[in-house]
Amino acid sequence: VQLQASGGGSVQAGDSLRLSCAASGRTFSSYGIGWFRQAPGKGREFVAYIRWTGDRTVYADSVKGRFTISRDGAKNTVYLHMTSPNTEDTAVYYCASYRGPRSGSYIYERNYAYWGQGTLVTVSS
C-alpha cells in the first residue's frame, strides 16, 4: 500500500482545511486509515481513524467535534476535514494504513504498516 498525504498549508485560527490521503497498491490489505500528527518537539499522536468500509470512525478527544474523517471508496482516498483549528493543531500530519484489530488498537502507531510522507499544517492566531 502506498499513501500520499496532501492538503497542508498555513491557515488562520478558525479557518477550515481539508487534508487528503490517497491510497494505491494493495489497498484491500488495509483494514482502515488513521491520521496522526507530530507537533514541533513532541511525539507523534493519534488524531482520527476510519475503517475502509466507512462504518466506524474514532477521534482523539483533542479534535472531537472539530475534525471529521471521511473516505471516498471510489477514489481510495481518506479525508481529514479540519474546522476551527487553533495554534495547538500546528503539526505535520501523517496518514497510515492500519494492520487490523489482531495487531492491537488503532490508536497506536506501531499497529500501522504503511505511512504517507506527511503534510505540514501551520495555524496562526
Mode of pairing for the β-strands spanning 17-24 and 44-51: unpaired
φ, ψ for residue 90 (rounded to 5)? -65, 125
pLDDT at 95 over 70: yes
pLDDT in tens, 26-79: 776 679 999 999 999 999 999 999 998 889 999 999 999 999 999 998 999 999
pLDDT in tens, 112-122: 999 999 999 99
Q: Which of 33, 28, 30, 25 is nearest to 56 (CA)?
A: 33
As to burial, measured by CB atoms within 10 angstroms (0-12 exposed, 13-18 middle, 19+ buried), residue 69 is buried
- Residue 104: the pLDDT is 93
For residues 107-111, average pLDDT: 96
- Residue 100: the pLDDT is 92
- Residue 25: the pLDDT is 85
